[in-house]
Amino acid sequence: MREELLRAIEGKTARVVVLGLGYVGLPVACLFAEAGFPVAGIRRNREKVEMINRGVCPIEGQEPGLAELLAKVVSEGRFRATTDYAICRDAQVFLIAVETPVDPATKKPAYRALRDALRDLGHHLSRGSMVIIESTIAPGTMEGVVKPILEETSGLRAKEDFYLVNCPERVMPGKLLANIQGCHRVVGGMSPTAAELAVKLYEHIVHADLDPVDCLTAEMVKTMENAYRDVQIAFANEMALLCEDMGADVWQVRELVNKSPYRNMHLPGAGVGGHCIPKDPWLLIANANNGFQPRLIPAARTINDGMPLHVTDLLVDALSQAGVAIEGARVAVLGYAYLENSDDTRNSPSAALFARLRELGAQVVVHDPYVPEYKGDLEKVVQGCDAIVLMVAHDVYRSVDLDDLRLKVACPILIDGRHVFSTRHAQTAGWDYYSVGLGRE
Ligand code: SAJ
């Protein structure tokens, strides 16, 4: 079994199927196709499947090289998408890259997409295959969820009849291809042979270290690195709140803190969004059950989830200083994606701000150059507004002419959730300027 699969991997004859063609699955499918493997991809959304098979990239934001690569491997017949799981029947290598959210109420893993993909694949799984989970999963999931479902639906046994691997993705919108090719990866095998074979496979597309480990270690590494980032951002956000309280400037303070050795204070801001950082800390602690009491992780989540509400408070104060009630006020929100220069709106902090402003009775208009429903002319969107709230540091906002914009609004209040502008620049242009982390005189 090992030799046969190794030959197919080294000879690039192994048929590869990627389950889930989103921000993780689509670029990895294209790279394996470009490396010379026959690749197919499965996505449930028929419209996106047809787009992909026309060689059109469904990901909108700035994604260097992806659209061209997709068009190339599709036109050369090396990659095609389908909604039909039967395509799995003649394949040897399967990569699963579906969403793994947490339940908003219980903060426990909500693995519906993962379980469905595993069940549908299990019915077509043949002996000698390799199944790789790229999705970020809670420690203990490979043993407790993935293996049992595949064994039950396939009638095969992991290790003896097929190889099982957890190789967590490390991609970020805006750098999808570069991250896959250039980032170090941990390759967690249900057996050392499984890890060894997966390393052989990824060597075709990853030009960085590939560390073979066991599955629990791989699950821990990925969820912990994102929890680490969330805690670092929470520290920065708490310091921003402290600086506002004491009339200091967190942006200047941070720059100087980072001049001291071994410090890398992250960026405070209007919130933490995306499919990873807001939920992976909960995945990390989801299966701890021998008395472990998490304190830091939940505290960091509370601080970061609170930032869009803090931005709302800054706005309400600013409006009341100007004698404008939030109820009925017309507020323009700049940026709806969770990350600059991306179209990805998953767990976007702007959604939390939007909901809160609506609750308070404000009239909310949104602009985002990348999110289809909020594209449009910025000047028209802010026309007659009582305030502007910047939530995302898209490049296009950095070069906005604040003097021009000033002439469009009814009331010159500017709340900067990402410190895109400077106080002097904004005040010179006649704005009443507020920024996260900036104390007022
Ligand atoms: N953010 C801050 N301050 C910071 C950094 C980020 O407020 O200093 C906010 C961002 O605005 C965004 C959110 O946090 O709303 C997440 O930003 P991100 O830069 O972490 O972007 P992600 O979530 O797309 O990417 C993260 C990355 N993880 C790490 O850097 C440890 C990426 O490497 C992972 O591949 C990705 O999660 C993932 O898929 O897990």
CA of 277 to the centre of ligand 1 (A): 6
CA of 72 to the centre of ligand 1 (A): 30
What integer pLDDT is reported at residue 441 of this predicted model? 60
What integer pLDDT is reported at residue 59 of this predicted model? 87
- The rounded distance, in Å, linking the Cα atoms of 191 and 200 is 15
Cα angle at 21 between 79 and 50, to 5 degrees? 65
**Residue with CA at minimum distance from ligand 1 atom 21:** 172
**Residue with CA at minimum distance from ligand 1 atom 11:** 339
* pLDDT < 70 regions, the chain: 441
CA of 172 to the centre of ligand 1 (A): 7
**Residue with CA at minimum distance from ligand 1 atom 29:** 226
> What are 388-408's pLDDT values in tens digits?
999 999 999 999 999 999 999
Half-sphere exposure of 101 (CA within 13 A, CB side): 11
- Token pair listed for 68: 């061209």
Q: Is residue 136 classed as helix, strand or coil in its secondary structure?
A: coil
Report which DSSP code applies to 142: I
> Could you tell me if the CB of 436 is within 6 A of ligand 1?
no
- Token pair listed for 327: 């109820």
What integer pLDDT is reported at residue 332 of this predicted model? 98
**Pocket of ligand 1, candidates 167, 232, 339, 344: which has the most ligand atoms within 8 Å of its Cβ, to mutate?**
339
Which residue of the set 222, 243, 279, 385 is catalytic? 222
Residue type, 230: D
**Residue with CA at minimum distance from ligand 1 atom 34:** 170
What integer pLDDT is reported at residue 434 of this predicted model? 97
Residues 6+ apart with CB under 8 A from 220: 139, 284
- The rounded distance, in Å, linking the Cα atoms of 315 and 415 is 7
Residues 6+ apart with CB under 8 A from 87: 17, 40, 42
> Could you tell me if the CB of 173 is within 6 A of ligand 1?
yes
> Could you tell me if the CB of 336 is within 6 A of ligand 1?
no
Residues 6+ apart with CB under 8 A from 69: 27, 30, 31, 34, 177
280 burial type by CB count under 10 A (0-12 exposed, 13-18 middle, 19+ buried): buried
> Could you tell me if the CB of 225 is within 6 A of ligand 1?
yes
Give me the sheet containing 387-390, strands edge to edge.
363-367, 330-334, 387-390, 413-416, 432-435
What integer pLDDT is reported at residue 115 of this predicted model? 98
Give the predicted TM-score (pTM) of the model: 0.95
Give the residue ranges of DSSP H helices in 138-214.
141, 147-154, 176-182, 192-202
174 burial type by CB count under 10 A (0-12 exposed, 13-18 middle, 19+ buried): middle
Q: Is residue 125 classed as helix, strand or coil in its secondary structure?
A: coil
> Could you tell me if the CB of 226 is within 6 A of ligand 1?
yes
Which residue of the set 215, 243, 276, 385 is catalytic? 276
- The rounded distance, in Å, linking the Cα atoms of 117 and 150 is 10
Q: Which of 184, 177, 193, 210 lies closest to 33 in space, CA to CA?
A: 177
How many CB atoms are located within 10 Å of the residue 411 CB? Answer: 17
DSSP for 372-418, please give it. Answer: GGG-S-HHHHHTT-SEEEE----HHHHT--HHHHHHH-SS-EEEETT
> Could you tell me if the CB of 272 is within 6 A of ligand 1?
yes
> Could you tell me if the CB of 265 is within 6 A of ligand 1?
no
DSSP for 351-373, please give it. Answer: HHHHHHHHHTT-EEEEE-SSSGG
Half-sphere exposure of 314 (CA within 13 A, CB side): 32
CA of 338 to the centre of ligand 1 (A): 9
> Could you tell me if the CB of 134 is within 6 A of ligand 1?
no
Active site residue 375: no
Tokens 């520290």: give the residue. Answer: 235
Active site residue 215: no
